[in-house]
Amino acid sequence: MAKELPTRAEDYAQWYVELVKKADLAENSDVRGCMVIKPYGYTLWENMQRALDKMFKDTGHVNAYFPLFVPKSMFEAEEKNAEGFAKECAIVTHYRLKNDPSKPGKLMVDPEAKLEEELVVRPTSEAIIWNTYKKWIQSYRDLPILINQWANVVRWEMRTRLFLRTAEFLWQEGHTAHATRQEAEQEARLMLDVYAEFAERFMAVPVIKGRKSDGERFPGAVDTYCIEALMQDGKALQAGTSHFLGQNFATAFDVQFSTKEGKLDYVWGTSWGVSTRLIGGIIMAHSDDDGLILPPRLAPLHVVIVPIFRSEEELNKITAAIEPVIGDLRKAGLSVKFDNRDTQKPGFKFAEYELKGVPVRIAVGPRDLENGTLEVARRDTKQKQVLKMEGITTAITALLEEIQSNLFARALKFREEHTTRVDSYEEFKRVLDDKGGFVLAHWDGTTETEQRIKDETKATIRCIPLEGGQETGACVYSGKPSAGRVVFARAY
């Protein structure tokens, strides 16, 4: 293979970063902490956006767009939210450059163009949006508002990693406003379900739905719901969050409405988001030492066809025979590439498409033409089979579905094998170190215990799971009473 990767066993973190770069998904830019999302990675994101956007619209949401900048005084209105993001905000202070008199051809910030009030580049948009909702909401008739925004946001992270943690990232953020507490809570849970369905059906990544502990809650929320996924190195990845905001932002921005009964009340809110971080999750959940393995429902390219030829004449024959096949596959909605380059050998191409995670590879040579067959290889298991050219579209479509199911089943099996119930702190630490994964343990419900466990083991409470029967017990750390097991893990 032209582009060697470290193996996962050797160095998982390095394997991940090299894979992202070598598979042409993204690279670091020369702007601190910001990435360039390359066309192959961006197409994956577009496919994710399309699926999510449809799910949002099917549940009654519409898209809109709010400003990139938040004036400082607006930003600080919801104090907890402001405090939570203050340490990682990019701040615009000036609105003009001018020629630098001391350096011909160079520019400098014009000190005379200082803003009266600094602007925060949005790390999240609750402030600007609730400030706008104030103007839109007078009566219960104006509710609910069910809006989503596709946007870039900036959080000044000190240690960054492609897709998983970058200073600028792309995401969607839903912001809804409701007349009742119950309706807002239902909305937050509904969107959590939407995220879980997206993760499992499209990304082929099983997730645990849960609620965050007080210590891990979104700043400004009353409740944060989340989906948590498990990566192959045994670390958890938060794959989406949905916040029940209570009346916190409505209070901070004075968004009141007259109820059906003619009283004034503050509006109830939710917000929810997923980001380009999910691309990191897809990569780490499925891929292997040879490269990406992408779920067919999101893959930029479903099928690559590699002709095996020794002369131009052979290539011409293959091309003539394969063109109708390509046409049929495309008609079935598949993305197909015919790689007829004569500058690279088939083996090189095979390795390249394995690296890029194309779910199905078809090889076709002169012998196949004689027999009316094709050699079909699936990326997930690397199994090859010889199939009749006739009816190939049906076979490939079915195979892609099978790959999608297999990826999910494999990831689910891995998660089950890496989910451990422990009943002592010793066992807790041993499982974390030896095996990793999700550790289901009793916890006394205090932030103090949570923090101590984190300091001692680097494991955090990923969530208090929504499903799974209540089971009382004793906290593995303090021995105090516990109302149920929570999900611990080391996490990204």
Instruction: Enumerate binding residues for a second copy (CB under 8 A).
Output: 27, 29-31, 34-39, 42-43, 45-46, 62-72, 74-76, 79, 82-83, 86-99, 105-107, 109, 118-121, 128, 131-132, 135, 147, 151-152, 154, 156, 168, 170
* Cβ neighbours for 409, distance < 8 A, ≥ 6 positions apart: none
Which residue's entry shows tokens 């925004």? 149
Nearer to a second copy, 83 or 456 (CB): 83
10 Å Cβ neighbour count for 236? Answer: 23
Give the C-alpha separation, 480 to 486, whole Å.
14
Nearer to a second copy, 76 or 290 (CB): 76
Give the C-alpha separation, 16 to 79, whole Å.
37
Give the C-alpha separation, 167 to 487, whole Å.
28
User: What are the beta bridge partners of residue 150?
Assistant: 172
State the minimum distance, in angstroms, from the CB of residue 147 to a second copy: 7
Give the C-alpha separation, 418 to 396, whole Å.
32
Closest by Cα among 82, 92, 89 to 156: 89
Closest by Cα among 334, 328, 324, 268 to 301: 334
Nearer to a second copy, 326 or 369 (CB): 326
State the minimum distance, in angstroms, from the CB of residue 406 to a second copy: 29
Give the C-alpha separation, 427 to 396, whole Å.
46
Give the C-alpha separation, 457 to 326, whole Å.
53
Nearer to a second copy, 30 or 455 (CB): 30
State the minimum distance, in angstroms, from the CB of residue 187 to a second copy: 17
Cβ atoms of 164 and 231 within 8 Å: the answer is no
Which residue stretches of 113-160 are H helix? 126-136
Give the C-alpha separation, 347 to 344, whole Å.
8
State the minimum distance, in angstroms, from the CB of residue 56 to a second copy: 12
Q: What are phi and psi of 7, to 5 degrees?
A: -80, 165
State the minimum distance, in angstroms, from the CB of residue 44 to a second copy: 11
Nearer to a second copy, 88 or 323 (CB): 88
Nearer to a second copy, 132 or 482 (CB): 132
The two tokens of residue 259 are 């109820």
Give the C-alpha separation, 224 to 145, whole Å.
20
State the minimum distance, in angstroms, from the CB of residue 268 to a second copy: 20
Nearer to a second copy, 210 or 220 (CB): 220
Nearer to a second copy, 119 or 226 (CB): 119
The two tokens of residue 8 are 């996962």
State the minimum distance, in angstroms, from the CB of residue 230 to a second copy: 28
Nearer to a second copy, 45 or 257 (CB): 45
Q: What are phi and psi of 389, to 5 degrees?
A: -65, -35
State the minimum distance, in angstroms, from the CB of residue 259 to a second copy: 17
State the minimum distance, in angstroms, from the CB of residue 27 to a second copy: 8
CA atoms within 13 A on the CB side of 298: 30
State the minimum distance, in angstroms, from the CB of residue 284 to a second copy: 21
Nearer to a second copy, 13 or 62 (CB): 62
Secondary structure class of 368 (helix, strand, coil): helix
The two tokens of residue 66 are 């709010």
Nearer to a second copy, 86 or 332 (CB): 86
Tell me the DSSP string of 295-361. -TTT-S-SEEEEE--SSHHHHHHHHHHHHHHHHHHHHTT--EEE---SSS-HHHHHHHHHHTT-SEE
State the minimum distance, in angstroms, from the CB of residue 301 to a second copy: 12
Handedness of CA 293, 298, 302, 304 (dihedral sign): negative
Question: Across 415-467, where does the E strand assignment appear?
Answer: 419-421, 438-442, 460-465
State the minimum distance, in angstroms, from the CB of residue 491 to a second copy: 24
Nearer to a second copy, 145 or 489 (CB): 145
